Amino acid sequence: MLNYSKKKFRLNPPQVMAIGFLVIILIGAVLLWLPISYVDVGRLTFIDALFMATSATCVTGLSVINTGAHLSTFGEIVLILLVQIGGLGFMTMSTLIALVLRRRISFQERLILQEAMNHDSTEGIVRLIRKVLIYALYIELAGALLFAIRWSFEMPIGQAIYFGIFHSISIFNNAGFDLFGGLPNRLGSLMHYVEDPYINIVSMLLIILGGIGFIVISDLLTYPKNKKLTLHSKVVLTASAALILVGTLVIFVFEYSNSLTLQPLSTIGKTLSAMLQSVSSRSAGVNTVEIASMRQATQFFIVIMMFIGAAPGSSGGGIKVTTFVILVGAVYAMIRGREEIVLFHRRISKDRIYKAITFTLLSFILIVLSTMILSITENFHFLGILFEVTSAYATAGMSVGLTSQLSGFGKVFIIILMFVGRLGPVTLAYTMSPLPKKETYRYPEGKITIG
């Protein structure tokens, strides 16, 4: 834990988060850069090692190497540890160490944890962190066991257990890294299991649990006892279900006759693949069909899904489903002539609406500018660049094949995007701005014509 005793060196919570992630990324990059981390490919450049460390810590999943073929066991363990630390948050891991050592969690550290978990207050934050660690452990263990049982039929039991642990952590934390590229006659990600209901269902459950956030999971576990769900949980669950359903239908219809994706599959295979792509597109980066072979309309739809992202307090990125719901609610309220946004009979405060608009606009501007810049420096078509930029910023990890072809400048640019996307542009802006001062006066109201 950082020492905050000297006031002149005191950092605010967003600054601690930014510095903490930077330190973890740099340590990971150095470890991945070591010769012990690779097999049969020689030593990669430090930029490639930094790219992989950033992608893992920011739980993105974009890769400039074939993870299963190019990393040694040591390198794979380093990568998945970075995913675990990045998914749960380095402050959560620091809190775990403090709890094990029976060290008191200071108020400043509770503020940082509040920021990291997107929680409303510091009240009960340590108790929430304990739950987060327990939930994550049980879910990842269950996923590892289910995967290991299935893969024990096609590989040695030791390898099946190792693969189960690696992919359970990777998929639950919405990272999307896989080791199948290192096996003979295997395609990357879960493409070998495109029509396997078992692998598809287990993967989707892990992605959904990792994407709805620990606050919602805690609510769901206590629901049988208190029969109540918070407004946050209701919004996240409803919006997530709606987005999964809409995404499945759109991908199924758009790709139904595409001979390179869904057309050769059975009806069950088409449905499973469309659903997995829908679930995965908002953050996880797992795929069972080739994304680059999808129609442009489908790819653009996935860009929209990645932009929306997962839930607050999860390892997913994007503008978050709650932000999307508030924006939709604002449009609906305006059309109906209402002055307030009401969700589940609860009024949404104006500061939440302003924050949603700010976050969305900043994210949109950042993606547009980044796409324009990379369109100049990278020799790739526009939609592919937009796809890769959105995937990096939203930490979604899906790719149409551009990542491995990036120039040195392009790799550094994507590294920055992944870092900004993991922290969020608003949080990052707070790290560089002074504390806001409350104004003691108000300007007279003015009117501007809209529309």
Using one digit for the tens of pLDDT, what is the confidence trace for 125-182?
A: 667 677 778 888 899 999 999 999 999 999 999 999 999 999 999 999 989 899 998 8
Instruction: Say what the pLDDT of residue 124 is.
Output: 57
Instruction: Say what the pLDDT of residue 5 is.
Output: 45
Instruction: Say what the pLDDT of residue 1 is.
Output: 44
SS3 347: strand
Query: Do the domain assignments include residue 195?
Result: yes
Q: What is the DSSP letter of 343?
A: E
Q: Are 247 and 305 in contact (CB under 8 A)?
A: yes
Residue 14 exposed, middle or buried by CB count within 10 Å (0-12, 13-18, 19+): buried
Q: Which residues make Cβ contacts (< 8 Å) with residue 257, sequence separation at least 6? A: 263
Amino acid at 28: G
Segment 181-198, tens digit of pLDDT? 888 877 778 898 999 999
Report the predicted TM-score, pTM, of the whole model to 2 decimal places.
0.88
- For 161, the token pair is 């257990």
Query: Do the domain assignments include residue 296?
Result: yes
Is pLDDT above 70 for 382?
yes
Instruction: Say what the pLDDT of residue 307 is.
Output: 95
Domain span including residue 124? 12-427
Instruction: Say what the pLDDT of residue 450 is.
Output: 67
CA–CA separation, 310 vs 328, rounded Å?
Answer: 16
Query: Do the domain assignments include residue 442?
Result: no
Residue 178: CB atoms within 10 Å? 26
Query: Do the domain assignments include residue 447?
Result: no
> ∠ CA 132-138-139 to the nearest 5 degrees?
85
Query: Long-range contacts for 24-29 (Cβ within 8 Å, ≥24 apart)?
Result: 24/57, 24/82, 24/85, 24/86, 24/90, 25/50, 25/53, 25/54, 25/57, 25/58, 25/82, 25/419, 26/50, 26/53, 28/52, 28/53, 28/56, 28/57, 28/78, 28/79, 28/82, 29/53, 29/54
**Mean pLDDT value of segment 257-278:** 94
* Structural domain count, the chain: 1
User: Which is more confidently placed, 431 or 324?
Assistant: 324
Q: Which residues make Cβ contacts (< 8 Å) with residue 396, sequence separation at least 6? A: 60, 61, 281, 282, 283, 284, 285, 306, 309, 317, 318, 390
